[in-house]
Amino acid sequence: MKVLHFFKTYYPDTMGGVEQVIFQLAEGGIQNGIESEVLYLSPRGAMRNEKLAHHITHRSFENFQFASTGFSIGAFKDFAELAEQADIIHYHFPWPFMDMVHFLTRVKKPTVVTYHSDIVKQKSLLKLYGPLLHAFLRSVDVIVATSPNYVASSDVLTKYKSKVKVIPIGIDRNTYPEVNATTADQWRERLGEQFFLFVGALRYYKGLDFLLEAACQTKLPVVIVGKGPMEENLKQRAKNSGLDNVFFVGALPDSEKIVLMSLCFALVFPSHLRSEAFGISLLEGAMFGKPLISCEIGTGTTYINIDGETGYVAAPGDGVSLARAMMKLWDNPDKAVQMGERALSRFNDKFKGDDMVKSYSEVYKLLLT
């Protein structure tokens, strides 16, 4: 079985959550007889048949971006040719240009779309895009949501419940590097024995302003891993507030990110808007048996993190609530350890990469029967 994944970006250009999902599906699918290829846009130019780990990627030249949407003239031809060779087309939503390609190339293959997020930021443009969005979702065979929470809270998904299937995102520990003891000692010397860890892109919906507020109130050590458009603003704010307990360490390779995951006291994930549909960093924290802090935004973050069981759930956009959750963990280290153990148990029960791949494999097979 051959599956073509189509998304606006992919490794090594970007390192986000959707890219991680595609990677896990492509690598994990091999054991289930699934040959995955990925087509994405890149400012680096067009290229066919590049090898990434154990699967093939293709890129079309990205001519320009508008409202965070990449456009490519060459992608129409590239997609049509690659789709012809595939058994299943697997789209990753949202990406309005993808909808255009779908219709203009007149795809005749079975189609799956993973619905990663509602469109939250571009509300005015959504009014123009809405007809195409709904035409696209009506036309695909299966829509996959990543959590029951998101299905229940998404106005868009409630319109398509008859074709929606929930498959939680899963990750495979074997696709991550092992923790290097020497590297761990170096980070421990630099950051100390206990700290809260945030990992992710430094974007508007990540709630990092409120994490800085909480760090100011608690004076507890916070390590921020990642880069993004908010980076300089956040660093300046931390400097102005004298937050010498907040450490910006930039984007790190997986080998070092995993070391910090293993060392941290807890994983804090303050995203406060629905643009954060799931939260793979939360999964990674759970995989390492860490207690979790997230916010209630009606998405998968509180499907991963159960308040009072695997960690604490704070009010969104509320630095005081976030600070309170951090202090509750910090002041009760034994309870924090127990919550981390329950987070690991929930990860093993619901979020393993193999389970996600098998669930998608069943969807693919049903479409081909």
Q: What pLDDT was estimated at residue 15? A: 84
* Fold matches, 2-172+352-368 and 173-350: yes
Measured CA to CA, the distance from residue 62 to residue 80 in angstroms comes to 17
Measured CA to CA, the distance from residue 170 to residue 348 in angstroms comes to 10
Question: Domain 173-350, what fold?
Answer: Rossmann fold (3.40.50)
| Dihedral (CA of 116, 117, 122, 128) sign | positive
Does the structure show a pLDDT above 90 at 5? Answer: yes
Q: Where are the alpha helices (DSSP H) in 29-122?
A: 74-85, 96-104
Mean pLDDT of the chain: 95
Cβ-contact 110, 367 below 8 angstroms: yes
Across the range 335-361, mean pLDDT stands at: 97
0.75 surpassed by pTM:
yes
Measured CA to CA, the distance from residue 259 to residue 187 in angstroms comes to 8
Residue 114: pLDDT band by 50, 70, 90 thresholds? very high
Q: How many CB atoms lie within 10 A of CB 46?
A: 16
DSSP β-bridge partners for residue 112:
90, 142
Any idea where the domains of the chain sit in the sequence? 2-172+352-368, 173-350
284 exposure class (CB count in 10 Å sphere: 0-12, 13-18, 19+): buried
**Domain covering 2-172+352-368 in this structure, CATH number:** 3.40.50.2000
DSSP 171: B
Closest C-alpha among 20, 25, 9, 2 to residue 355: 25
